[in-house]
Structure 1
Amino acid sequence: MASLKEVRNRIVSVGSTQQITKAMKMVAAAKLRRSQDNIMRMRPYAQRLNNILTNLSNVQNEDGGNVYAQKRDVQRVLIIAVTSDRGLCGAFNSNVMKAVNVLINERYATQAAAGNIEIMAIGKKGHEYFTKRNMPTVGDYTTVFGNLSFETVRAAAEQAMEGFRTGRFDQIDLVYNEFRNVATQIIRTEQFLPIQEKPQEQVANQTESDYIFEPSQEEIVEQLIPKSLKIQVYKAVLESNASEHGARMTAMDKATENAGELLKQLKLTYNRTRQAAITTEILEIVGGAEALAASR
């Protein structure tokens, strides 16, 4: 059985930890509100822009002029993995890394055996994970979340798009956490490039949009498609950012509850140990008094 001093020290230590986790929960809740507002505003814009992008890509594919929709034999693959810069957010980061490993093993096993898979890790945790395992990485985007904005994410999107346009990569996939609510984050694995065409049945059931191009179709598409692709990456990063704060808030709330339960157990142990010590001292005093009386 632990001594009273050891139990007291553990109570103080757990109490301090509980205060830290409670403060981290409050900080995560404040950041979550801002990041949640950002992603809720971004989703309708990104979805509408993505629909326009798909329609324009279908139109331009008829002329063979859209380099971002060109389908090739998949020999070289880039996987964009969006994680966080910090831990203490439950299984948030490990779920992304598991999803990347599953994607490689199930879909790109041949390319992995040939060493033709590279990782673009957005977030420090992902970068550290893949570099420690000697996986080829592209770029260094470990400070994106320190000053999250479209400008900071655009560089990563442009590097990925340049790699596809020049033929360095034949396919690019996005792996990230999609924000649903504070307690739920869903892993998403999406094809970023080449741009996917809509299924024929979906096109048939959808009302066709009649676009008027001004000044010209080529000039509009040349500006719109790259911008839409960058918005897709930015949206994935915003989803991941909101998911991170939600996961950290949930993890710190659970840690605070666990600390409270542990404190109850430690205080109970402390009281029992103290009572046992007092009882032992009383028995020793009574035994000494009886021995003294018997000797007289």
Structure 2
Amino acid sequence: MSGLLALLDDVAAIAKVAAASVDDVAGMAAKAGTKAAGVVIDDAAVTPKYVHGFEGKRELPIIWKITKGSLFNKLVVLLPAAMLMNAFAPWLITPLLMLGGAYLSFEGAEKIFHRLFPHADHEVEEDMDVGDPVHLEEARVRGAIKTDFILSAEIMTITLAAIPEGAFWMEAVTLALVAVAITAAVYGSVALIVKMDDIGLFMAATARTGFGRSLGTGLVKGMPKLMVFLSTVGTAAMLWVGGSIIIHGLDVLGWPVLYDTIHRWAEAVAHGVSEGLAGLAAWATSALSYGIFGLAFGMILIPLVTRVIGPVWSVLTGGSKPAAH
């Protein structure tokens, strides 16, 4: 009997440890997920273009295909690679983060440059040209999954860098949890966005009350504005996250001038406002500074990417440039 009681005590102790570990994993996953906010917002704003031009009945199946590809990218390819890198070459994390930050800065700056100086993009025009629906769907899905791979790699690297050092299995489970949660959030939001017009039309036609019909009409009319808003927020988030990653990376690598300067600016602004707004003011100052740096750095990268890296990539891959969105 005493042996059984001892066994039950051991089981209870193990259960407590497991429960605490689950709490730790959930907490780390939530914290790490917020670090990838800029990439997530941009991903959700960009992905609806891949279902443009298709019949309504094909929109959700296409999104599901992209979702499965995204999960494969994160869980089968990137998660093991991230864990191996963390175990055997942790010094690579900061340079890879900075490379991803440069990519985000370039993407955000290129969108602003295109808005200020509109120019034709033959690759995008060809991609949006609706030809054979079957082949077009396959090409769109492949293109979306390739673009997702780049964004997923950045999400996984940001997450890995945000996880406190601990047990191997806890880091792996946290990465997996973030991967699944972010994928579900992004593509669930995308599915809702692309079907919002249909929902609005259905409500406008069948709602029993005037308010319901007006709400449906408002959803239909409001979707273009929502897409513009998401694109704007996504661009700003990319520049903020990209700039902050590069500046923090420089600090880690031994060049702290930019990081220290922005930190001093944030402290000065925080001291100039009321105590209740100090934290918000410091964050806003830092975010704005990181965003301005990301924009400037991205603008510098535009000619380098379009005139040097792009043509070289085209030669190496047989004529296809890296996907830009």
Normalising by structure 1, report the TM-score: 0.28
Q: Name the one with the larger strand percent.
A: 1
CA radius of gyration, larger in: 1
Q: Name the one with the larger helix percent.
A: 2
